[in-house]
Amino acid sequence: MGFGVRQFELTLMHRMRDLNADRVEDSLARMRASRAELRAAHTQWTKMLHSPRAPKGAPGLRRLLGTPCYQGEKLIGSLTCDVTRWVLPSWPDLAFEVLSGPDGEVWNEWFVRPSGARRLTFADLVPWRCVVADVGAGFPSAVQGEGAAPHHWVVDFTHDGEGYRARFIYGLLQRLDRRD
Protein backbone atom coordinates (compact mmCIF):
# COMPACT_ATOMS: atom_id res chain seq x y z
CA MET A 1 0.00 0.00 0.00
CA GLY A 2 1.34 3.44 -0.92
CA PHE A 3 1.23 6.20 1.61
CA GLY A 4 -0.17 9.63 0.76
CA VAL A 5 -2.66 12.22 1.91
CA ARG A 6 -5.50 9.73 2.49
CA GLN A 7 -3.33 7.45 4.62
CA PHE A 8 -1.95 10.40 6.56
CA GLU A 9 -5.49 11.58 7.38
CA LEU A 10 -6.38 8.06 8.50
CA THR A 11 -3.28 8.00 10.70
CA LEU A 12 -4.37 11.25 12.38
CA MET A 13 -7.89 9.87 12.82
CA HIS A 14 -6.51 6.72 14.41
CA ARG A 15 -5.25 8.86 17.31
CA MET A 16 -8.43 10.99 17.30
CA ARG A 17 -10.48 7.86 18.02
CA ASP A 18 -9.14 8.17 21.58
CA LEU A 19 -11.53 11.07 22.26
CA ASN A 20 -13.98 11.26 19.37
CA ALA A 21 -14.70 7.79 18.00
CA ASP A 22 -18.12 8.76 16.58
CA ARG A 23 -16.66 11.61 14.50
CA VAL A 24 -13.97 9.28 13.17
CA GLU A 25 -16.55 6.63 12.26
CA ASP A 26 -18.59 9.25 10.36
CA SER A 27 -15.45 10.37 8.51
CA LEU A 28 -14.52 6.81 7.63
CA ALA A 29 -17.95 6.36 6.07
CA ARG A 30 -17.60 9.61 4.08
CA MET A 31 -14.14 8.57 2.90
CA ARG A 32 -15.38 5.04 2.12
CA ALA A 33 -12.60 3.73 4.34
CA SER A 34 -12.75 0.74 6.63
CA ARG A 35 -11.43 0.34 10.15
CA ALA A 36 -8.94 -2.12 8.69
CA GLU A 37 -7.65 0.59 6.34
CA LEU A 38 -7.39 2.97 9.31
CA ARG A 39 -5.34 0.43 11.27
CA ALA A 40 -3.18 -0.40 8.24
CA ALA A 41 -2.39 3.29 7.66
CA HIS A 42 -1.43 3.71 11.31
CA THR A 43 0.76 0.59 11.21
CA GLN A 44 2.51 1.75 8.05
CA TRP A 45 3.04 5.24 9.53
CA THR A 46 4.54 3.76 12.69
CA LYS A 47 6.91 1.60 10.66
CA MET A 48 8.02 4.64 8.65
CA LEU A 49 8.64 6.65 11.83
CA HIS A 50 10.94 3.94 13.16
CA SER A 51 12.68 3.11 9.89
CA PRO A 52 16.24 4.41 9.79
CA ARG A 53 15.97 4.98 6.02
CA ALA A 54 12.65 6.87 5.89
CA PRO A 55 12.91 10.68 5.75
CA LYS A 56 11.72 12.34 8.95
CA GLY A 57 10.04 15.62 9.88
CA ALA A 58 8.93 18.14 7.29
CA PRO A 59 11.01 16.54 4.47
CA GLY A 60 9.29 13.20 5.12
CA LEU A 61 5.85 14.80 5.14
CA ARG A 62 6.69 16.76 1.98
CA ARG A 63 7.46 13.46 0.27
CA LEU A 64 4.14 11.96 1.42
CA LEU A 65 1.82 14.98 1.23
CA GLY A 66 3.33 16.92 -1.66
CA THR A 67 4.09 20.60 -1.90
CA PRO A 68 3.15 22.48 1.28
CA CYS A 69 0.72 25.40 1.09
CA TYR A 70 3.10 27.48 3.21
CA GLN A 71 6.77 27.54 4.18
CA GLY A 72 8.40 30.18 6.33
CA GLU A 73 9.99 30.96 9.66
CA LYS A 74 8.55 31.81 13.05
CA LEU A 75 10.20 33.35 16.08
CA ILE A 76 9.27 31.59 19.32
CA GLY A 77 10.96 33.36 22.22
CA SER A 78 14.59 33.62 21.16
CA LEU A 79 14.42 30.62 18.81
CA THR A 80 13.63 30.70 15.13
CA CYS A 81 11.91 27.64 13.74
CA ASP A 82 10.88 26.55 10.26
CA VAL A 83 7.14 26.43 9.60
CA THR A 84 5.66 24.08 7.01
CA ARG A 85 1.90 23.70 6.45
CA TRP A 86 -0.39 21.47 4.38
CA VAL A 87 -4.13 21.68 3.85
CA LEU A 88 -5.82 18.30 4.15
CA PRO A 89 -9.16 17.43 2.50
CA SER A 90 -10.92 16.42 5.73
CA TRP A 91 -10.12 19.80 7.33
CA PRO A 92 -10.07 22.32 4.43
CA ASP A 93 -10.32 25.46 6.61
CA LEU A 94 -7.29 24.48 8.68
CA ALA A 95 -3.68 23.55 7.99
CA PHE A 96 -1.49 20.83 9.44
CA GLU A 97 1.60 22.64 10.69
CA VAL A 98 5.05 21.28 11.44
CA LEU A 99 7.47 23.42 13.44
CA SER A 100 11.09 22.33 13.01
CA GLY A 101 14.35 23.44 14.55
CA PRO A 102 17.46 24.46 12.62
CA ASP A 103 18.64 20.84 12.54
CA GLY A 104 15.30 19.68 11.04
CA GLU A 105 14.08 18.07 14.28
CA VAL A 106 10.30 18.39 14.65
CA TRP A 107 9.37 20.52 17.64
CA ASN A 108 5.61 20.40 17.17
CA GLU A 109 2.99 19.20 14.71
CA TRP A 110 -0.65 20.16 14.89
CA PHE A 111 -3.56 21.86 13.16
CA VAL A 112 -3.67 25.64 13.00
CA ARG A 113 -5.89 28.23 11.40
CA PRO A 114 -3.74 29.63 8.55
CA SER A 115 -5.23 33.12 8.90
CA GLY A 116 -4.55 33.15 12.66
CA ALA A 117 -6.73 32.38 15.65
CA ARG A 118 -10.40 33.39 15.60
CA ARG A 119 -12.24 34.74 18.63
CA LEU A 120 -14.92 32.11 19.00
CA THR A 121 -18.09 32.11 21.03
CA PHE A 122 -18.94 29.16 23.24
CA ALA A 123 -21.43 27.95 20.62
CA ASP A 124 -18.61 27.92 18.04
CA LEU A 125 -16.66 25.26 19.96
CA VAL A 126 -17.52 22.43 17.60
CA PRO A 127 -15.26 19.38 17.35
CA TRP A 128 -12.95 19.31 14.32
CA ARG A 129 -13.61 22.99 13.56
CA CYS A 130 -11.50 24.70 16.24
CA VAL A 131 -7.82 24.74 17.11
CA VAL A 132 -6.02 25.43 20.39
CA ALA A 133 -5.32 29.07 19.51
CA ASP A 134 -9.03 29.72 18.83
CA VAL A 135 -9.95 28.82 22.41
CA GLY A 136 -7.13 30.97 23.74
CA ALA A 137 -8.30 33.94 21.66
CA GLY A 138 -11.96 33.54 22.58
CA PHE A 139 -11.62 32.93 26.30
CA PRO A 140 -9.15 35.11 28.24
CA SER A 141 -9.09 32.67 31.17
CA ALA A 142 -7.77 29.84 28.96
CA VAL A 143 -4.81 27.86 30.29
CA GLN A 144 -3.13 25.26 28.09
CA GLY A 145 -1.78 21.97 29.36
CA GLU A 146 -0.52 18.63 28.18
CA GLY A 147 -3.00 15.87 27.56
CA ALA A 148 -2.91 12.29 28.72
CA ALA A 149 -1.14 10.87 25.64
CA PRO A 150 1.20 11.98 22.84
CA HIS A 151 -0.29 14.70 20.63
CA HIS A 152 -3.04 15.41 23.18
CA TRP A 153 -3.58 18.93 24.57
CA VAL A 154 -6.08 20.39 26.98
CA VAL A 155 -7.24 23.95 27.43
CA ASP A 156 -9.09 24.84 30.64
CA PHE A 157 -11.29 27.95 30.65
CA THR A 158 -14.44 29.39 32.19
CA HIS A 159 -17.64 30.46 30.53
CA ASP A 160 -20.64 31.92 32.36
CA GLY A 161 -19.07 30.96 35.68
CA GLU A 162 -18.61 27.29 34.69
CA GLY A 163 -15.25 25.58 34.21
CA TYR A 164 -14.62 23.66 30.98
CA ARG A 165 -11.85 21.56 29.54
CA ALA A 166 -11.40 21.51 25.77
CA ARG A 167 -9.58 18.37 24.67
CA PHE A 168 -7.48 18.40 21.51
CA ILE A 169 -5.55 15.88 19.45
CA TYR A 170 -2.99 17.31 17.04
CA GLY A 171 -4.30 20.73 18.07
CA LEU A 172 -7.80 19.96 16.73
CA LEU A 173 -10.77 20.15 19.13
CA GLN A 174 -12.17 16.70 19.85
CA ARG A 175 -14.38 17.18 22.89
CA LEU A 176 -15.54 19.77 25.40
CA ASP A 177 -16.09 18.60 28.98
CA ARG A 178 -17.42 20.42 32.02
CA ARG A 179 -14.80 20.59 34.78
CA ASP A 180 -15.62 19.76 38.38
C-beta separation of 153 from 136 below 8 A:
no
Which residue range(s) make up the domain with 67? 57-114
Domain end among 86, 114, 142: 114
Residues in the chain, total:
180
**Total domains present in the chain:** 3
Q: What pLDDT, on the 0 to 100 scale, is given for residue 83?
A: 94
Residue 20 or residue 60, greater confidence: 20
- Find the helix or strand (DSSP H, E) in which 81 lies: strand 79-88
Q: Are residues 45 and 78 in the same domain?
A: no
Q: What pLDDT, on the 0 to 100 scale, is given for residue 11?
A: 95
pLDDT band at 15 (very low <50, low <70, confident <90, very high): very high
Q: Are residues 129 and 168 in the same domain?
A: yes
Q: Are residues 42 and 68 in the same domain?
A: no
- Find the helix or strand (DSSP H, E) in which 163 lies: strand 162-169
The answer, yes or no, to whether residue 1 has pLDDT greater than 70, is: no
Q: What pLDDT, on the 0 to 100 scale, is given for residue 25?
A: 96
Q: How does DSSP classify residue 173?
A: E
Q: Are residues 2 and 39 in the same domain?
A: yes
Q: Are residues 20 and 49 in the same domain?
A: yes
Q: Are residues 50 and 75 in the same domain?
A: no
Between CA 159 and CA 162 the distance in angstroms is 5
The answer, yes or no, to whether residue 91 has pLDDT greater than 80, is: yes
pLDDT band at 134 (very low <50, low <70, confident <90, very high): very high
Q: Are residues 67 and 89 in the same domain?
A: yes
Q: Are residues 1 and 48 in the same domain?
A: yes
C-beta separation of 15 from 169 below 8 A:
yes
